[in-house]
Amino acid sequence: MTQMTEPGLLAPPALAPDTLRIVPLGGIGEIGRNMTVFEIDGKLLIVDCGVLFPEEDQPGVDLILPDFSYIEDRLEDVVGVVLTHGHEDHIGAVPYLLRLRNDIPLIGSQLTLAFVEAKLTEHRLKPWTLTVMEGQVEQFGPFQCEFVAVNHSIPDALAVFIRTGGGTVLHTGDFKMDQLPLDGRRTDLRHLARLGEEGVDLFLVDSTNADVPGFTTSEAEIGPTLEALFGQADKRIIVASFSSHVHRVQQVLNAAVQHDRKVAFVGRSMVRNMAIAAKLGYLSVPDNVLVDLKNVNQLPDSQVVLMSTGSQGEPMAALSRMANGDHKIAVGQGDTVILASSLIPGNENAVFRIINGLLKRGADVIHKGTAKVHVSGHAAAGELLYCYNLVEPRNVMPVHGETRHLIANGRIAQSSGVPASNVLLTGDGAVIDLAAGRARIVGQVECGFVYVDGQSVGEITDEDLKDRRILGDEGFISIITVVNRSTGKIVSGPDIHARGMAEDDAVFDEIKPRIAAALEEAVTASTDHTTHQLQQVVRRVIGTWVNRRLRRRPMIIPVVLEA
C-alpha cells in the first residue's frame, strides 16, 4: 500500500542516529514555493527556496513563501542552500530566508547564482555563494553533494545527489529529457545510470507533467513556428514569456534577424535577466538587433518585436498593462501578440482576461492552444518511466506538483517495479525518515502559507484573506448605535450604512426596530454586559435578516457606544 500523509499526524519523534530526515516545506500539492530540508547529525541542508504566486482567492497578496518556522530556531545549523535552477518558484524566497541569517551559503550553477545575486542586490543583501557545475562533488557538513546536468526551460539546471550516513537521495529539481536542446546540454542519462548503480535510497522526482503521456516536445520545434508567424505579421509583434526563459528569447532574436526586425525588451525583470544571460554567454545576441524601448516609436511597425513579461496574467506586468491600455506601448489593430508560455494552474482566468483585452484592441493573439509556440520544461510520463528504469530507486517521493500530479507520478514509479509501500505521497510539512534503505512517513510539522503583502511578511492570515474575499464578493455593512448605560434605551441609531451592495440604505429601515429591541433587552437583562457582547447581539440580528431577506453574507461591523 502506498504511504500517504494523513490528517492528524503527530509531531515526529526525535531523530535517531544514522537516519536522514527529509521535510518538504513547499512544492508538494502545489506548483511553486519549492523547498526541502534534509537533516542528519544535527545539521540541515536546504534544496531550493522558491515562491508561489497568488491565485484570485488571495486578494492583495504579492507572493507566498515557504513556512520557515520549522527551521527558524536552527538557522545556525544550516550548512547551505542548493538551488537547482533559476526559476522564481525555486529561488524567489531566498531573500526572505537570508533576512533571517544573511551568511547562509548559496550553492548553484553560474546562471542560477547570477539571477539570485541580482535579486538579492535589490534587497540589499550580499550572499556567500559557491558556483558548481555538473560532475562536481562538494562536502557540506555531513552532506556530500554531487551535481548532475539536467535539461529544463532555463539553462544551467542541475539535479543533486546527496550522500549521507543515513542513505542517499537523488533530487531531480525540474527537468525533462529534450534530445535536441538549443544549447546542446542534455539531461545526463549516463550520470544518472551511474548513480543508480551506486544505489539511490530515495528518489525525489519532478511531477509537474506526470499526467501527460509520452515525451515532452523538443524546444527545437518552436523555432520554425515563430519564424512562420513572424513572416505572416505585417505590424508589430509582441512576444510574452517568462523573464528567465533564455531559450525562448534566443529563438525570438533569431526569428527577428530572419525577418529584418529589431527587438526591444519590455519589463524590468526581462531587461535584467537577459542582460545577465548575454554577459555570461547563455544568450547570443546578433549585432544591431536590440533597440531600447524608448526608441521603438522611431521604427516602422513592420520592423518591431517587443519581448515582454506578463505571460501569466500578472496584473502589474507589461502585457497586462498593455491589455488594459495603461502602458506606454499601445496595442492596436493588426498587431500580433504571441503568448510563448504554458498556463500555470490557477492563472487561467487572468490569462484569458488578457487575451480578451488584447483581442478587443484589434490584436491577433497566438497562444499554445492555437500554434506550437511553447513546449513544457518538465518530463512527461514516458520520460519519468525511462528515469525510473534507469535509476531503479529503492524508495520514491514525487515532488513539485499538485495532488493529481503526485498520484500520477507514484503510479508510474509502481509500474516500473517500485513496491507500492515504498512510494511516499506526502504533503508540505510531512516528515520522512530514511534509514537502512527504508523511507517512512513518521510525522508532520506545522507548515502554512506565509503571505507577502506589500512590506509585510507573514502578518496577513487566512482569516484576513477571508475578510477580503467577503468584502469583494458580498459587500460591507456598518451599524452604529448609542445606548443609555442606565436605562438601556437607544439614544441614537441604529444608523446603517452599506457598501458594495445594490440595495439602497433605506431597505434596512425594516430591521432597525428589531436591532433596537434586541439591544434594549440585552442591556436590561444583564448589568455586567460588555460592549463586545452587545455588538455580537447586533451582528446576529442583522446577519440573520440580511441572509434571509437579501440572500447575502456581507462583512458586518457593529459599533455600540454606551452613554
Cα-based distances in Å from 163 to 130, 143, 168, 313, 504: 19, 6, 5, 41, 69
Looking at mean pLDDT, say which of 136-150, 303-317, 531-545 comes out highest.
136-150
Integer Cα distance of 126 and 103 in angstroms: 8
Integer Cα distance of 156 and 164 in angstroms: 25
**In terms of residues, how long is the chain?**
563
Torsion of CA 330, 334, 335, 340, to 10 degrees: 140
CB count in 10 Å sphere of residue 291: 18
Is the separation of the CB atoms in 83 and 117 below 8 Å? no
Q: How does pLDDT run across 363-409, given as a tens digit for each residue?
A: 888 887 788 888 889 999 999 999 999 999 999 999 999 999 999 99
- Output the pTM of the full model: 0.82
Start-end of H helices in 261-338: 268-280, 318-324
Taken in order 82, 86, 88, 92, the sign of the CA dihedral is positive
Integer Cα distance of 19 and 325 in angstroms: 58
Q: For residues 51-69, give the mean pLDDT.
A: 74
Q: Is 405 helix (H, G, I), strand (E, B) or coil?
A: helix
442 or 490, higher pLDDT: 442
Question: What is the CA angle 449-454-460, rounded to 5?
Answer: 35
Domains of the chain, with CATH numbers? 3-7+16-215+376-454 (3.60.15.10), 219-366 (3.40.50.10710), 462-562 (3.10.20.580)
pLDDT band of residue 42 (cuts 50, 70, 90) is very high
Q: How does pLDDT run across 298-333, given as a tens digit for each residue?
A: 899 999 999 988 767 666 677 888 887 777 888 888
Would you state the pLDDT for residue 57?
58
HSE toward the beta carbon, residue 124, CA cutoff 13 A: 0
219 or 195, higher pLDDT: 195
Q: Is the pLDDT of residue 412 over 60?
A: yes
Start-end of H helices in 162-265: 189-198, 222-232, 246-258
HSE toward the beta carbon, residue 168, CA cutoff 13 A: 18
Question: What is the CA angle 140-123-44, rounded to 5?
Answer: 20
